[in-house]
Amino acid sequence: MSEIYQLQDVTKRYMIGKVAVDALSGLSLSIREGEFAALQGPSGSGKSTLLNVVGLIEKPTRGSILFRGADVTGAKEGVLTDLRQRYIGFIFQNFNLIPVLSALENVEYALYLEQRYSRGEVRERAMRAIQDVGLERFATHRPAELSGGQRQRVAIARALVKDPQIIIADEPTANLDSKTAAQILELMRNLKEKLNTTILVATHDKAIADMAERIIKIKDGRIDEN
């Protein structure tokens, strides 16, 4: 199994006023293709920053990042945007759906950003993704007309519609009741097995940790080996 990510001695520094704060501090990590990894650590440990760096949203202050075998450490923003759109799907705890669009249109929007498909292809792929998450009866509903679990299903469909090589999820069950959270976890596991997509999820949810193939613990901006 090859590695989709290789992070070497990555530091991410923020300036808070005149004070330098290292959210990541010399962190090294490899993520293999097709694995389901859970990222765990206390608040302030660097989980969200690491997700942003892995998601090519933020650049490291120091260190290097190889993505799909290519060094993207100093890549221009246009290149990183293209890589995100083509290869990475994001799932957020607050869903981040567009309120004025229907469930189907929210999923379609992810494809329109890529500008690679015709209108007919966009509709076909989006509807297939909606069906994969069991929401075909709610395709025309707007987010306000959906339950929290249904909105998270739309978010998963939006992430999956691009056939991403990796899905990055930030506390995807945090705002859901336990029954709905269990359903979302089962959906993610089934889709992962079906598509062999790499999944990196930051979570405090023990059920996700139990389901993951690997636990990555982070503390004070470093991988915790203990």
Q: Residues 14-37: what's their mean pLDDT?
A: 92
pLDDT in tens, 78-100: 999 999 988 999 988 788 899 99
Taking the alpha carbons at both ends of the chain, their separation in whole angstroms is 25
pLDDT in tens, 28-68: 999 999 999 999 998 889 999 999 999 999 999 999 999 99
Q: At a CB cut-off of 8 Å and minimum separation 6, what does 56 contact?
A: 65, 67, 72, 80, 83, 84, 88
226 pLDDT more than 60: no
Q: Give the domains, in start order, of the chain with CATH numbers.
A: 35-62+74-223 (3.40.50.300)
1 pLDDT more than 70: no
Q: Residues 118-142: what's their mean pLDDT?
A: 92
171 pLDDT more than 80: yes
Q: How far is Cα 14 from Cα 46, in angstroms, rounded to an integer? A: 12
Q: Residues 152-168: what's their mean pLDDT?
A: 89
